[in-house]
Structure 1
Amino acid sequence: MKFRRARKEDVPRIYSLVLAATRRGKILKRSYEDVSRSAHHFWVAEAEGEVVACCAVEIYSKKLAEVRSLAVAPGHEKKGMASRLVDRCVRDARQKGIYEVLVITNRENIFKRHGFSEQLHGQKALFLRP
């Protein structure tokens, strides 16, 4: 298993992983253009030369980043790839001095193992769907 930064040529495969995970209800939808524009934010996992998992850390400001688009190809789950990708994204944010990292997920456990919490110093995130 090899973990590395995504390259432009990985975009079609990353998009196919993101699309499949979206269809399975695992992550929020992203367009091909969005994935292509943010390719430099992605980490990927390779198995036998093929990208089989991805995750991105998008930096919004000096204070805030988001871990997003965590997707693992069917048949490659439960091998620790997702956890290792989240670790790399969190490390990236930490190295850049980011104060807070958020994630919007329905898979809480993997993120809680990395120290994510539903509350931050008594604060909660509030959402509005207009």
Structure 2
Amino acid sequence: MEIRKATSTDVEEMQQLIQQFADIGLMLPRTIKSLCEHLQCFTVAVEDGKVIGVAGLHVLWTDLAEIRSLAVAPEAHGRGVGRQMVTALLQEAEHLGIAQVLSLTYQTGFFEKLDFHIVRKESLPHKVWKDCIYCNKFYHCDEVAMVYYTSHHQVLRPAREA
């Protein structure tokens, strides 16, 4: 399996993979147009020439980026594909000097294992007022906001539970 930046030839498979999970309400759908416009933000996992995972790092502000559209093909679940893609995106955020990386997710256990911490959505105004305000789930959002603090973060990090 290879983790790499997405290319234009990956877009159709990326969209199909994301749509599988959007169809059951686990993530927001992404159009081909949206994926093309933000292609440089996406990383894919490829195995035997097939996209088996996709995830994007979208910069929201000088100190905040978001992991978006994280999807792993059902046949690849449990093999560390998601973890490897998120790790690659966190390294990218570090390289860009981003202090915090957020995820709005239903998969809190997965992100906790990667050292993300639950935060109040209201503590992320650049996300809420840039993107969330336009979401059809805005008034009844049930996703959990989680943040990873990179080495560029200047505030004390929450203590880890033993």
TM-score (norm 1): 0.90
Q: 1:125 maps to which residue? A: 121
Q: 1:110 maps to which residue? A: 110
**Cα distance in 1 between the residues matched to 2:73 and 2:25:** 14
Can you list the C-alpha shifts for 1:22-75, whole angstroms capped at 9, x where unaligned? Answer: 113322222221111111111111111111111111012211100010111121
Query: Which letter does structure 1 place at the counterpart of 2:31?
Result: S
| Pairwise CA distance, 1:114 | 1.3
- Tell me whether 1:42 sits opposite 2:42 in the alignment: yes
Query: Which letter does structure 2 place at the counterpart of 1:13?
Result: E
The runs of 5 or more residues in structure 2 that have no matched partner are: 123-127, 140-162
Q: 2:33 maps to which residue? A: 33
The runs of 5 or more residues in structure 1 that have no matched partner are: none
Structure 1 residue runs of 4 or more that deviate by more than 6 Å after TM superposition? none
1:32-111 to 2 correspondences below 5 Å: 32-111=32-111
Q: 2:9 maps to which residue? A: 9
**Cα distance in 1 between the residues matched to 2:87 and 2:73:** 18
Aligned Cα root-mean-square deviation (Å): 1.4
SS in 1 for 2:118: coil
Bigger relative CO (Cα 8 Å, ≥ 6 apart): 1
